[in-house]
Structure 1
């Protein structure tokens, strides 16, 4: 690949997976592999239809099922393969995973308090998976996004990932400190547009969800 192409901006459509049953009940998923529910499958198909007319050169997904299912719907519309990347997984929450927010607060009050206070270097309790700090997570996912962009200069990538990944990308593109509260929404099956130019991530559009509105029936008697 010619070195002169490396400065060409790469366009990224960063997409959160469709809804899961655990999303609906506010149960923390992290690295636990939860599939889409019926609503999430519907959202994935609406997302695919909305992006069908757009140019997409490559599709990359987290290797977790909920992201792969969402990416597969987009891939079918574009007749493209889905590349999987474990580095695009959601943050690993260790012992928090599989619990409702209220249960986390009850079982791990100190760790929950640090999480809610946005202590970005706080350790998480042990669980089935080893937790990571928010800073470690942020570095992992933003690094993955920049690597894919560097490998596809001048192209358009669809990256299908998770809510935490979207948060990290937003913060990086807006130069928003990791310690500040999240004051922006992260929607299931949303399209969030970025460009990467000279190794810098820039936000161009956030939280596109118009495609998820229920279709209006036009054949009523």
Structure 2
């Protein structure tokens, strides 16, 4: 059977993760904790001989910096893939959810309920638009690399979409899985079967990450 092994990683922590701010497409760099997480991840993948053949990364700094640490440690080539960016949250980017809830309670409620049709004002993406972008991008990259072990460095929202696709869960189903910064997540992609869950949220190389909801 033809397949592509996918090792998926959410970027390391940023100051805005720690502060509960919505990042979306804003280009926020790793903080000191995030840089440490990236180095620990890189050391693990190097020492365990993961044999990663190619790395794709969102072009946003927080993902790119995490991916670069692994590329430097493993020698795998790194390619930027803007289509792996986080969901676009428009005018909500840079703000805390509590502030949005206080000022725009109807929008906050639709966001909380994961309304698939709701579009954040100011040029945001609906969940349906976001899912379509993510699935098209990941499946296309997987199809280009049949038989390879590929790492992708991306964002919490992207990983959420991929987990749901691999497990058959809907966009509005309650989330019970973790989206830890710099944890290791594994999926298998096949042309006929799509995505299959192999392993999730392995953070054995970390001892101080925080799982913030705004990626």
Which of 181, 192, 198 is equivalent to 1:188? Answer: 181
2:156 aligns with: 163
Which of 79, 87, 98 is equivalent to 1:102? Answer: 98
Report SS of the residue matched to 2:9.
Answer: strand
Quote how far apart the aligned CAs of 1:152 are.
0.4
**5+ residue gaps in structure 2?**
209-215
Quote the Cα distance in structure 1 between the aligned partners of 2:125 and 2:55: 26
| Structure 1 consecutive aligned stretches of length 4 or more whose deviation exceeds 4 Å | none
1:205 aligns with: 199
1:14 is aligned to 2:13: no
Q: Contact 2:159–2:179 (CA<8 Å) still a contact in 1?
A: yes
Structure 1 or 2, whichever has the larger Rg, is: 1
Q: Contact 1:118–1:181 (CA<8 Å) still a contact in 2?
A: no
CA deviation profile, 1:81-138 (whole Å, cap 9, x unmatched): 3111111000001111100111111222111110111111112111xxx200011101
Quote how far apart the aligned CAs of 1:27 are.
0.6
2:82 aligns with: 86
2:116 aligns with: 120
CA deviation profile, 1:21-45 (whole Å, cap 9, x unmatched): 0001111100000000000000000
Report SS of the residue matched to 1:210.
Answer: coil
Quote the Cα distance in structure 1 between the aligned partners of 2:204 and 2:134: 26
1:38 is aligned to 2:40: no
Structure 1 range deviating more: 61-70 or 99-108: 99-108
Q: Contact 2:53–2:77 (CA<8 Å) still a contact in 1?
A: no
The TM-score with structure 1 as length reference comes to 0.90
RMSD: 1.0
Quote the Cα distance in structure 2 between the aligned partners of 1:62 and 1:108: 30
Quote the Cα distance in structure 2 between the aligned partners of 1:8 and 1:54: 20
* Equivalent residue pairs, number: 205
Quote how far apart the aligned CAs of 1:213 are.
2.3
